[in-house]
């Protein structure tokens, strides 16, 4: 049985360098849920992550059984925004809103998601499971870069993106700031964390 692996099959999207680079991101579907506030102190943030992974692995096993199609569960991703976007360069985390996501194969549909949510909830208490949904994202032209280091060190990188790279290349941001977490923060030293920073853009 072949196994789909997003990171290997679309390396240009999941293996950026340490310099800003333009990519074209195709439409994707995600299992996702929303929240607000400081991810370091929000109980809901952790509950959403637990529910996302529990349901995503339930979906993986169901896919193998029902469709004979296997895949690697994708990394955790997040969309981030605030009323005042300077909240990110200031690291004013209480002002942040977010959508946490895990990418899903195209052959899975809303009824599969619903069944998996019910199965996962039957095995374990998951306070956030009913907030999960199947969503889609079509970012198109985007700038991305690999950030290696603590999440709190992203501020200067984002400032360079918005204050230098975008104006110099006649680009402006559209859509929400997007992060893809390639490292497990529970097992990785902060200095070695790998995070893809992505910003959808359009030409001015």
Q: What pLDDT shows up at residue 83?
A: 87
Q: Roughly what angle, to the nearest 10 degrees, separates helices 110-123 and 43-67?
A: 110
CA distance 148 to 161: 16
Count the domains in the chain. 1
Q: What pLDDT shows up at residue 34?
A: 98
Whole-prediction pTM value?
A: 0.96
pLDDT of the chain, 204 residues: tens digit per residue: 789 999 999 999 999 999 999 999 999 999 999 999 999 999 999 999 999 999 999 999 999 999 999 999 999 999 999 988 788 778 889 999 999 999 999 999 999 999 999 999 999 999 999 999 999 999 999 999 999 999 999 989 999 999 999 999 999 999 999 999 999 988 999 999 999 999 999 999
Q: What pLDDT shows up at residue 87?
A: 82
- Domain extent for 75: 3-203
Query: What SS3 class is residue 67?
Result: helix
Q: CATH number of the domain that 180 lies in? A: 3.20.80.10
User: How many residues can be counted in the chain?
Assistant: 204
CA distance 36 to 100: 11
């Amino acid at each position: 049985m072949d196994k789909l692996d997003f990171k290997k099959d679309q390396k240009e999207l999941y293996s950026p360098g340490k310099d800003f680079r333009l990519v074209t991101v195709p439409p994707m579907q995600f299992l996702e849920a929303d929240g607000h506030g400081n991810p370091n102190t929000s109980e809901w943030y952790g509950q959403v992550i637990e529910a996302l992974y529990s349901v995503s692995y339930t979906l993986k096993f169901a896919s193998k059984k029902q469709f004979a199609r296997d895949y690697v569960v994708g990394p955790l991703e997040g969309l981030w925004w605030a009323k005042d976007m300077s909240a990110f360069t200031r690291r004013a985390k209480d002002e942040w809103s977010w959508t946490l996501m895990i990418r899903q194969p195209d052959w899975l549909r809303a009824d599969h998601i619903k069944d998996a949510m019910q199965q996962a909830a039957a095995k374990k208490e998951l306070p956030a499971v009913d907030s999960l949904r199947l969503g889609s994202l079509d970012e198109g032209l985007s700038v991305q870069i690999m950030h290696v280091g603590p999440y709190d060190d992203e501020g200067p990188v984002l400032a360079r993106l918005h204050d230098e790279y975008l104006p110099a290349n006649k680009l402006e941001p559209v859509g929400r700031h997007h992060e893809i977490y390639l490292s497990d923060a529970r097992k990785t030293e902060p200095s070695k964390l790998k995070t893809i920073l992505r910003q959808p853009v359009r030409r001015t």
